[in-house]
Amino acid sequence: MKDNWINVIDDSLVKDFYNQQSSEEQQEGFETTLAFGTAGIRGKLGLGEGRLNRFTVSKVALGLAQFLKSKHDSPVAVIHYDTRHLSPEFAQIIATILASHDIKVYLSDTYRTTPDLSYAVRFLEAHAGVMITASHNPKDYNGIKVYGEDGAQLSTEPSNVLSDYINALGDPLTIELPQLSNEQQSLILSVPDEVRASYFKEIQSLVGDIPQSDLQVVFTSLHGTSVPVVPEILSQLNFNQFNLVEAQCKPDPNFSSVASANPEDHKAFDQSIALANQVNADLLISTDPDADRLGIAERDQEGNIYYYNGNQIGALLLNYQIKATSHLNNRLMIQSIVSSELAKSVARHHGVAYKEVLTGFKYIAEAIRNMPEDQNYLLGYEESYGFLAGPFVRDKDAIQIVPLIIKYASELKNEGRMLKDDLEDIYQQVGRHNDQLFSHTFEGAKGKAIIDDIMKSYRNNPPRTINGLDVVAIEDYETGEKVDFQTNETTPITLPKANVLKIYFKEGFIALRPSGTEPKIKLYVSLTIDHFDDVAQQINEEIFNLK
């Protein structure tokens, strides 16, 4: 098995990555298999079925070709890619294999954002979209996300069908890269310019005019795809007080100048803060490498920096959207089940309906798709810094949120206020909500057993108190039941099954969610209590026996 892979190393595209890996990392590639899950496929570059390389990418492409041909007589697909190592090469491989099966392909001729891909699928009325990206993962990772004809990531059922097609192909080393006939080659087309132009018009319609102000903004793409698209859309909206962190706004698959390519990480703002101090900036914005998520921070006149978590950004955006749509009735906000009660409290305060869905933006897209015609969508968001205000895209979209946040901050600047002032007003209205995420990694089979034991323990023997907080209810999304300990009633949960436990207190909730693709388990803590940081850490220590 290993020898077969070593024999094709020169054709694998990943020779350099393989040679840089430790012997343990190399061996892992031969002992594991990349699984196509509900969020696509993501993994390290290297040799073996457990790594991304020319052959495993070809296997996914061939499975996708068979999947599309089984559903459509004349399928059409759109392929975009980010700034990572081998992203353009993988995109070309997939385009070639799809075209060899007489599938029309719109292939981007440069790196593009994930929301660009979602919009292009809808605009071009394609049957599928493919995005080559690994978001904010380390530089030696890449991935493949597959989208359906509505521009959303594949929902569970078609994703499972596609996975079956891929798995049925067996050994990826048997899959040849085809030579295309002239007719097949003609099926690979460039993405038309009118797609981006139409996308920009939708954003302009969503945002409207940005008021004149002396707001200064610092922006970083973290070596990803959001430059030049963000400067272009802001220029069209006549906003020019926009300062790029030049060293970080050039495409770089090694993410050379960033401590972290994740906008959730405060370290991602280090160079932005330095520039903000030079230009006396007010607002700092970062997008992740494929530009579907964004983080923000504010700087006051004394140079103090205020960071915002995903739940706070979601609440602020919802607050802004509610004010901007006061003339509309029957408005709706959608959030994931592990997101804070904060935005829901804002919605309730203003008489706006809200809906909760499973984690994964495809579920927000599904809820948008199933909305009644008379309902007005305001916002969908996840606590992991993913937001969507305009449903012309069906995935989280940092590109549309950047000008919306800038407009919001510009209006506040003209009133002598900051976003933090509006957030404080929200707290005065609905109470102060505190949130913290703990992520724990347990490697190998032993690690999986630890994660399974934690979930089994809390599922089969739910505690009545955690760190002195009385448990009032527990939702088990795997069994699909909610148990109310105050009334002893059991009620069904009307969402698809998922390995998530949500434990409620009068003061808020915690949630436990193992990753489906990595040896990780996440603990979400959301409470309206004093001394939150200490309490959250104590809960974390109790659940994971860290003392």
Read off the pLDDT band of 447 (50, 70, 90).
confident
Across-strand partners of 257?
A: none
The enclosing domain of 427 has a CATH number of: 3.40.120.10
346-402, pLDDT tens digit by residue? Answer: 999 999 999 999 999 999 999 999 999 999 999 999 999 999 999 999 999 999 999
Q: Helix, strand, coil shares of the chain as percentages rounded to 5?
A: 40, 20, 40
Amino acid at 411: E
At 305-344, the pLDDT tens digits run 999 999 999 999 999 999 999 999 999 999 999 999 999 9
Same domain, 380 and 405: yes
Q: What percent of the chain has pLDDT over 90?
A: 95
Q: How many domains does the chain have?
A: 3
Q: What is the pLDDT of residue 444?
A: 74
Of 171, 191, 211, the position where a domain reaches its end is: 191
Lowest mean pLDDT among 32-41, 172-181, 282-291, 526-535: 32-41
Tokens of 262: 């994740």
Q: Is the pLDDT of residue 482 over 60?
A: yes
Q: Are residues 120 and 219 in the same domain?
A: no
Given a cut of 90, whether residue 260 has pLDDT beyond it is: no
Over residues 506-532, the mean pLDDT reads 92
Domain CATH for 499: 3.30.310.50
Cα(338)–Cα(8) distance, integer angstroms: 44
Letter string b/e over residues 106-128, b meaning 16 or more CB atoms within 10 A of that residue's CB: bbbeebbbbbbbbbbbbbbebbb
What pLDDT, on a 0 to 100 scale, did the predictor assign at position 467?
94
Same domain assignment for residues 398 and 500: no
pLDDT higher at 64 or 137:
64
Res 38 pLDDT > 80? no
pLDDT at 545 over 90: no
**pLDDT at position 204, please?**
98
Helices 419-430 & 310-324, crossing angle to 10 degrees? 90
Looking at the structure, tell me whether residues 465 and 487 fall in a common domain: yes
Give the residue ranges of DSSP H helices in 208-251.
Answer: 229-236
CB 462 within 8 A of CB 455: no
Q: Is 475 helix (H, G, I), strand (E, B) or coil?
A: strand
Same-domain status, 16 and 143: yes
Q: By the 8 A CB rule, do 62 and 175 touch?
A: yes
> What pLDDT is recorded for position 547?
53
Peptide bond into 514 cis (omega under 30): no
Same domain, 187 and 203: no
The predicted pLDDT at position 39 comes to 78
The residue out of 169, 191, 213 marking a domain boundary is 191
Does residue 297 surpass a pLDDT of 90?
Answer: yes
**Is 406 in the same domain as 486?**
no
Do 415 and 470 lie in one domain? The reply is no
- Higher pLDDT pick, 545 / 348: 348
Same domain, yes or no, for 98 and 246?
A: no
Instruction: Please provide the average confidence, as pLDDT, over all residues in the chain.
Output: 96
Rounded to an integer, the average pLDDT of 521-533 is: 96
What pLDDT, on a 0 to 100 scale, did the predictor assign at position 286? Answer: 98
Query: Does one domain contain both 443 and 359?
Result: no
Mind listing the pLDDT tens digit for each residue in 230-252? 999 999 999 999 999 999 999 99
Please give the helix or strand (H or E) that residue 406 lies within, else none. Answer: helix 398-414
Which residue range(s) make up the domain with 469?
A: 434-544
Report the predicted TM-score, pTM, of the whole model to 2 decimal places.
0.96
How many C-alpha atoms does 329 have within 13 Å on its Cβ side? 1
Q: Residue 319 burial (CB < 10 Å; 0-12/13-18/19+)? A: buried
**Pair (470, 413) in one structural domain:** no
Task: Select from 191, 208, 223 the last residue of a domain.
Answer: 191
Predicted pLDDT at 171: 96
Show which residues are catalytic.
135
Q: Say if residue 312 is in the same domain as residue 203.
A: yes
Q: What is the pLDDT of residue 517?
A: 66
